[in-house]
Amino acid sequence: MTEHFEVDVRRDGRRFDAQATLVLPADVQTVWDTITDYGALHRFMPGIRDCKVVSRKPGTEGVEHLEVEQLGEFRFLLFAQSMKVHLHIEHQHLVMAEAKAWQFDLGLFKRRAIDIFEGRYELAAVAGKRKTPATTLRYSAVIGLHLPPPPAIGNVAIRQNLSAQLEAVAAEVARRSAKR
């Protein structure tokens, strides 16, 4: 499915920076189709119950602008909190998808829980002579919380959620590749 990957999470006060790199045994188009298939995210992405594109507009220099609404939950151990996120997403076809939350309601906390969320996927074909295509998928995120969680909890919760989501992406890419 993918070679082993780690999610690196660094904390600076209430801000968390996360990064991960995956090498997926699939062509760039399959990986792109998977990460940008917003209507299907609820079928394979943990924590997402519904995702819909509210608007899609072409931009300059091949950049596409989307407004997306996601409904789901944030989980940590036995804790689960419902969430509703409105994202502005920019696509640079087959290269990059960058999301910035402009509204984030986390259950009871509403707009007070998260100050910033930005996530970015970058794709690149793996160079060299290979029997099958492979794609490097880099993910980075910045998460800024309104109130800081207890010391070790934030890093663990973010690492756990991002790892589960990236593993789900890898599994879905593998499933889609097998169908081609």
Instruction: Using the predicted structure, report yes or no on whether residue 1 has a pLDDT greater than 60.
Output: no
96-106 and 79-92 strand pairing = antiparallel
**Arithmetic mean of pLDDT over the chain:** 87
How does pLDDT run across 23-33, given as a tens digit for each residue? Answer: 999 999 999 99
* CA–CA separation, 86 and 67 (whole Å): 7
First and final C-alpha spacing in the chain: 15
Which has more confidence, 72 or 113? 72
Which has the closest alpha carbon to 65: 85, 101, 90, 86? 90
* CA–CA separation, 65 and 98 (whole Å): 10
- pTM for this entry: 0.89
Angle, helices 151-179 vs 28-35, to 10°: value is 120
Strand ranges of the sheet holding 96-106, from the earlier edge strand across to the other edge: 8-12, 15-24, 135-145, 114-125, 96-106, 79-92, 63-76, 48-58
* pLDDT on residue 77: 55
Query: Residue 4: pLDDT band by 50, 70, 90 thresholds?
Result: low
* CA–CA separation, 121 and 144 (whole Å): 19
- Name residues whose C-beta falls within 8 Å of residue 22's C-beta, 6 or more positions apart in sequence: 2, 3, 5, 136, 137, 139, 166, 169, 170
- Please name each of the domains of the chain with its CATH number: 8-179 (3.30.530.20)
* CA–CA separation, 1 and 24 (whole Å): 7
